[in-house]
Structure 1
C-alpha cells in the first residue's frame, strides 16, 4: 500500500516541506496502522523542521509530526485492545519524528501512542486536544496542584497550550492571568475566559501581578518562553508558589531566578505519558471536560494536507489563537 506523507530533506523554513507518495508496509510487532483524518500542529514541529528542537532530524527524507486523529485500519502482531474501525487519537511523543512522524494520510504507529476517541469527539477535536490539554493538565494539576482561588499566570496565552490552561484554570475555580506579547489579542483572550490580560510590551508584569493579587504574587506561573526574561517572570511568583517552565520559545540562555525560596519545575509531557496512573487520570479528566463542554479546543484555522507549508507559515506568523489543524481528504 502507498501513503502520502510529508517529508523534508534539509533544515529550513516551511518551504522545505513536501508531500510524497511512499510505500507503507503492514504494521509490525506492537504497531497499528491508522488512516489519518486530521493533524494537530505544534510549535515543536516548526522547531524540529528548522533545527531548533532538542534533537535533530535524520536527513534526507525526514518525517515530522506528533499529533493526529483517525481510524484504525489494521493491527500488527502483539497488539491488544485495538481493532480495525476504532476511532483513535495519536500522541506520538518521546520518539523520533524522523521515523515516526504522523503528517500523512496513513501511518504505522506504536499502539502505546494511541488514545481512544469517543464517538462524540470528531477528528478535528481529536487531533487538537491531547498534547495541549495533557500538557496543561500535567503541569498545573499533577505538578502544580492548582486549587480554587489560585492566581495562575500563563505566558504565551494565545497558544493552544495557553488556551487549554485558561480553560482548566476556570474549570478548577482558579484565576487565569493571560500574558501575551502585545495588546492585540487582549479582547479575544478575555472572550476565551482569561480573568485578566497583561501585554509584555506595555505592562510591568511583576507590578501588575502584584496589583491583581493584593501584593501576594501568583501561586503558579506557567511559562513556555524562557530566555533572559525568565528571571523577571519568576518574580511574579508568590513565596510559596511555583514557576513551571515547559518550553523555550526564546532560545537564549535563561538566568537562574534569585527570588529565593522559589520552586522551579521543568515540565515535559513525559511526566504524564510515562506514568500510567497519571495518564489515566489525565484522560479521565479531559474526557469528562469534553463531555460536559467545559473543555473545548479552540481551533484557530484549518488547512488541507496539500497546504502543509502554508499551515506552518501561519503558525510562525504568531497571529494564532488556539490550535491549527490540518485535515486530510481521502
Structure 2
C-alpha cells in the first residue's frame, strides 16, 4: 500500500515522503481500517516538526483524523493509532474508540467532524457553559476548529463575532453566519469588538491562537466572561496576568480534548451523538475547503502549517488499491 512517512523532523513539505509499505498489522485491541478520507489538522504539522505533545517513533505516518471502513464494511470515524496515521491507504485504530460516521455527511465531511467539532463542543458547552443569548468571540474563525466553534455557537443560540486574517477568510466567516466579522489585518480588533458589543465585550472567547490573540481576549472578555484556551496556532504561549482576571472577574479555562478520550470516553460518545443529531438537522456541516488525492497530502499539511487555508483540507486515498 501507499503511505506517507516522516523519517526526520522538519517542515511537512520537506520531510513527508510517499512510500510503498506493507499494510500495518493490528495489535491487541486494534483494528485495521481502509482509509476513505483523512482530514488535515494543525497537529499533523506539529508532528512533522517534532513539536507535538505526542512524538511517535520515526518513521511514522501522520494523519490524526479519518473516516475509515472496517473489514465488515462499517463506515466509522477514528483517530488513528500512531505511528500508523491516516495519510495512507490503511491505518490502525483503537477498536473501542470507533464512532459511527453520520449518514448525513459524506466521507470527507465525516473525517472533518471529529477533532474540530468535539473540541468546539467541549470548549463551549463542557468548559464555558455557553448559554443562548450570550456573545461568543471566535479567533481564527475561518479555520478548521474555529469554523466548528462558529457553527456550534450559532446552533446554541449565541451571537457570534469572528476574528479572521484577510478578506478571503472574512468572506468565509460571513458565509458561516457570523453576526460580526473583524479582519485583524485591516482593523483594530479590540476597538471593533467593543463597538460590536456596545463596549460590554464577549461572554465567551474561544482562542485556538494564543499570543497576541490572547492579549486581545483579556481586553475583550466581559464581566464574568470565560476565555477558553484551545491551542497556540500563533506560535506564542501567553503568560496570563492573573491579577487582571481577579479585578475583571473572568475565568481562564484550559481545554485539552484528548484527555477526555482517556479519562471520560463515555462523554466523547455522548458528544458524538449530539454532533450527529446536529448534522442530521443541518445545524452543522464541516467546512471542507479542498479535497486532494493521496499524493497531495504533503502540500496540504504544509499549507495548513503556513496558516493559509480555510476550513479543512481532506485527503482522499485511492479506493481499492493493492497492498
Taking structure 2 as the reference length, the TM-score comes to 0.91
Aligned to 2:317: 328
1:12-47 deviations in Å (ceiling 9; x for gaps):
221211122222354332111111111000011111
Equivalent residues of 1:38, 1:123 under 8 A apart: yes
Task: Say which is worse superposed, 259-268 or 48-57, in terms of deviation.
Answer: 48-57
Match of 1:250 among 234, 243, 247: 234
Q: Identify the structure with bigger relative contact order (alpha carbons < 8 Å, sequence gap 6+).
A: 2
Which residue pairs with 1:77 in the alignment?
none
The answer on whether the counterparts of 1:180 and 1:199 sit within 8 Å (CA) in structure 2 is yes
Q: Which residue does 1:312 correspond to in 2?
A: 301
The answer to whether the Cα contact below 8 Å between 1:228 and 1:253 also exists between their aligned partners in 2 is: no
Q: Where does 1:74-85 land on structure 2 (aligned, <5 Å)?
A: 84-85=72-73
Post-superposition Cα deviations, 1:208-230, rounded to whole Å, max 9, x if no partner, equal 22222222211100001112542
Q: Structure 1: which 5+ runs fail to align?
A: 74-83
Query: Aligned equivalents of 1:55 and 1:91: distance in 2?
Result: 13
Q: Equivalents in 2 of 1:243, 1:309: separation in Å?
A: 33
Q: For residue 80 of structure 1, what is the aligned residue in structure 2?
A: none
Gaps of 5+ in 2: none
The residue that corresponds to 2:163 in the other structure is 179
Matches within 5 A, 1:1-330: 3-13=1-11, 14-59=13-58, 61-73=59-71, 84-92=72-80, 97=82, 99-257=83-241, 258-260=244-246, 261-273=249-261, 274-330=263-319
- How many equivalent residue pairs? 313
Q: Secondary structure at the match of 1:283?
A: helix
1:240 offset after TM fit, Å? 0.5
* Cα distance between partner residues in 2 of 1:248 and 1:323: 18
TM-score normalised according to structure 1 size: 0.89
| Separation of aligned partners in 2, 1:318 and 1:294 | 26
Secondary structure of 1:289's aligned partner: helix
Shift in Å, 1:304: 0.6
CA, structure 1 residues 27+259, in 2 after alignment: closer, same or farther (shift >3 Å)?
closer
Residues 262 and 120 (structure 1), Cα distance of their counterparts in 2 relative to 1, 3 Å cut: closer
CA contact 2:288–2:311 (8 Å) conserved in 1: yes
Offset at residue 314 of structure 1 (A): 2.9
Q: Secondary structure at the match of 1:29?
A: coil
